[in-house]
Chain A
Amino acid sequence: MKTNVIIRRILVALILFCSLPTLAQAELISGKSFGGEDNEIVVNFAQAVDRAVVANPDNYIVYEEPDPDIRLSLQQIVVSEDGRSATLVFSEALNTTQTHVVSIKNITPSVLESFKVSKSYLGYLLSILIGAMLINNFVFTKYLGLCVFFGTSKRKDTAKGMGIVFTLVIVVSAIMSWFFYQFFLKPFDLNFLQIVVFIGLVSLTVQAVDTVLRKVNPILFNAFGVYLVLVIANCIIIAVPLILADNEYNFYESFMLSLGAGSGFLLALYLMSSVRERLELANIPPTYKGIPIAFVVAGQFALAFLGFSGLSLF
């Protein structure tokens, strides 16, 4: 009983202590984030501010943290009705992966209000993963890997096996491709060898997985071995390293993109195989039996996946 009271008092004291700083010094800028459009930054103020000062683009200095010399040009500033939030509209799209530093002059006497705007890096990585899996699903919105997709989506078991093997191989080979691109092809200016090197690495990975799996786990090999050959005939496996090289992704981003591409393929295969198992029982016109109806169903999936476009979680 007594200890209970003491604990409660300590807790109350702690909460008060923690909330003290926020009560004592009310910050002028209460919130800041990138806006809905890719050329906007939204700033919230704790109290109403002078409209004339806030709406004047000359009072702002905005730059990306690594290059303080390159000032970003503001197009206009939209101040909300109550004067407590301002939307900075830039003339060009912002690179939201970088931390931006925003400084406002004259808003408080003789003090330069300065703050940083950035996205959380983990959120950014997750958005790459979700993007590759759903929004830009390689099968339904980029139309890649279709041969293998239609070949292995007849049964759920095959679909799962193919999807898992594919995800494994693509993650390993994409990371190896990233390594080769960053440390060999780029420094020695051998970019024209991209295709040869990337497909060679894929062959190598497939051969290595084949050999290792055969020795280490023969049961697993019997179940999944047949899909290994098919992996190499899948466009996605060569498209991902090319995309990584084009976008100059770093290690974590490469990992996330390849994982997203692999799991997106697995998802597409699983969805498709569930439908095709049912289609076998359905009464379909003889001209549409087999592959043609599968294409029509895939078209409907592609339509459904259009609904993911514009989805942004982070």
Chain B
Amino acid sequence: MATDKSNFQLVVNGILNENPIFRLVLSMCPAVGISTTVMNGFLLGIAVLFVQVFSSVTIAIFKDVIHPRIRIPTYTLTIATWVTIIDMVLAAYMPEAYARMGIFVKLIVAFAIITMRLEMFACKESVTASFWDGIGMGLGFMAGMMALGFVRELLGLGTVLGYDVLGFKPLLFFVLPFAGFFCVGMMMAFFNYIEIVYKRAKATQG
């Protein structure tokens, strides 16, 4: 049962149609908790990309020898192994960023998005397709986190990637931790609005 999509379509699918944060509404904890700056989103995005790609490939390679009844524990342990690796790498090479992300790197192990992609995609498809799907999902997560970080950083601190852009702080409210909920909700509503407008335009054309 191979997928009929090309590799490029798989990546785009992960970023747009099935964006993990805004469309699938999975792995929301970091999206609310630490999306205060673009940099945070980027770093956690890299960690998730790494774990997603390597777990997808691992499961795709070994899918024939995994008994269906123990597949969920197998997925979990595979993810846990890759998370341990990225956790130790980040702690060793980027101690500052690691300290800022806190417990969230370790919590990648419980992110629903990774388990779900293994269950829905990697255990049925070929190794190459799983690799590109992993890339797409990882990039989609990273894009979502960075978009959230961009909005919150710009509106809250008036900066982008630490550089002062606006010169003043429009709404300090947005960098406060709980504003993550409002920000995610409003951005989702914004994307829904775009979709509604797009569909209406298409209907009038056709």
Interface, chain A (partner B; CB < 8 A): 140-148, 150, 192-196, 199-200, 202-204, 207, 229, 232-235, 237-239, 242-243, 285-289, 291-296, 298-299, 302-303, 306
With a cutoff of 8 Å between Cβ atoms, the chain A residues found around residue B81 in the complex are 196
> Which B residues are in CB contact (< 8 Å) with A229?
72
Which residues does chain B contribute within 8 Å of A200, judged by CB atoms?
Answer: 73, 76-77, 80
User: By the criterion CB–CB under 8 Å, are A150 and B29 in contact?
Assistant: no
Residues of B172-203 whose CB lies within 8 A of A: 177-182, 184-186, 188-190, 192-193, 196
B88-A192 in contact (CB<8A) = yes
Are the CB atoms of B28 and A147 closer together than 8 Å? yes
Contact across chains for B188 and A147 when beta carbons are under 8 A apart: no
| Chain A residues within 8 Å of B186, by CB | 292, 296
Comparing B38-46, B109-117, B150-158, B159-167, the segment that makes contact with chain A is B109-117
Contact between chains at A295 and B76 (CB < 8 Å): no
A-side contacts of B31, CB under 8 Å: 146
Contact assessment for A292 and B185 in the assembled complex, using a CB-CB cutoff below 8 Å: yes
Looking across the interface, which residue of chain A has its beta carbon closest to that of B187? A292
Q: How far is the CA of A243 from the CA of B31 in the complex (A)?
A: 21
Given contacts A233-B115, A238-B110, is CB(A143)–CB(B77) below 8 Å? no
Determine if B139 is an interface residue (Cβ-Cβ < 8 Å).
Answer: no
Asked if residues A150 and B25 are in contact (CB atoms below 8 Å), the reply is yes
A-B contact pairs, 10 of them (CB 8 A): A144-B33, A148-B112, A192-B84, A194-B106, A195-B106, A199-B76, A199-B110, A200-B80, A232-B76, A296-B182
Tally of A-B Cβ pairs under 8 angstroms: 127
State whether B192 touches A292 (Cβ < 8 A): yes
Chain B residues closer than 8 Å to A239, beta-carbon distance? 103, 107, 110
A156 to B179, CA, bound (A): 26
Cβ A144 vs Cβ B29 within 8 A:
yes
Asked, given contacts A195-B80, A235-B29, whether A242 binds B103 with beta carbons under 8 Å apart, the answer is yes
Alpha-carbon separation in the docked complex, A203 to B115 (Å): 13
Tell me the interface secondary structure of chain A in the complex. Answer: helix
User: Is the CB of B26 closer than 8 A to any CB of chain A?
Assistant: yes
A137 CB → nearest B CB, Å: 11
Known A203-B73, A292-B188: A299·B80 in contact at CB below 8 Å: no
Minimal beta-carbon separation of A286 from chain B (angstroms): 7
Any A CB within 8 A of the CB of B32: yes
Collect the chain A residues with CB atoms within 8 Å of residue B109's CB. 195, 199, 238
With A143-B33, A146-B28, A200-B80 in contact, do A306 and B106 touch (Cβ < 8 Å)?
A: no
Inside 8 A of B28's CB, which chain A residues have their CB? Answer: 146-147, 150
Residues of B45-77 at the interface with A, using a CB-CB cut-off of 8 Å, are: 72-73, 76-77
Closest to A202 in B: B76
Please report the C-alpha to C-alpha distance between residue A235 and residue B29 in the assembled complex, in whole angstroms: 8
Shortest distance between the CB of B194 and any CB in chain A (Å)? 9
Give the contacting residue for B26; candidates A141, A147, A204; CB below 8 A.
Answer: A147
Q: How far is the CA of A233 from the CA of B193 in the complex (A)?
A: 30
Does B7 sit at the interface, judged by CB under 8 A?
no
Who on chain B is nearest to A145 by CB?
Answer: B29
CB contact under 8 A between A144 and B181, given known A192-B88, A195-B80, A203-B72: no
Q: How far is the CA of A298 from the CA of B185 in the complex (A)?
A: 9
A180 to chain B, nearest CB (A): 14
Point out the residues of chain A lying under 8 angstroms from B189, CB to CB: 285, 287-288, 292
User: Does B181 lie within 8 Å of A295, measured CB to CB?
Assistant: yes
Closest Cβ–Cβ distance, residue B128 to chain A (whole Å): 27
Contact between A294 and B185, CB atoms less than 8 A apart: yes
Top 9 A-B pairs, shortest CB-CB distance? A295-B185, A299-B181, A143-B33, A302-B178, A146-B28, A292-B188, A233-B112, A296-B185, A292-B189
Inter-chain contacts of B88 with A (CB < 8 A): 192
- A242 and B110 CA atoms in complex are apart in Å by 13
**Contact at A143–B180, with CB atoms within 8 Å?**
yes
Among A147, A192, A195, A287, contact of B27 (Cβ-Cβ < 8 Å) = A147
Residue numbers in A under 8 Å from B193 (CB-CB): 287
A192 CA / B91 CA spacing, docked (Å)? 12
Chain B residues positioned under 8 Å from A150 (CB to CB): 25, 28
**Residues 111-126 of chain B, each 1 if its beta carbon lies under 8 Å from chain A, else 0:** 1100100000000000
Nearest opposing residue in chain B for A204, CB measure: B73
Given A196-B77, A295-B181, 17 further pairs, Cβ under 8 A: A143-B180, A144-B29, A146-B29, A147-B25, A195-B109, A196-B80, A203-B77, A204-B73, A229-B72, A233-B115, A285-B189, A286-B196, A287-B192, A289-B192, A296-B181, A299-B178, A299-B180
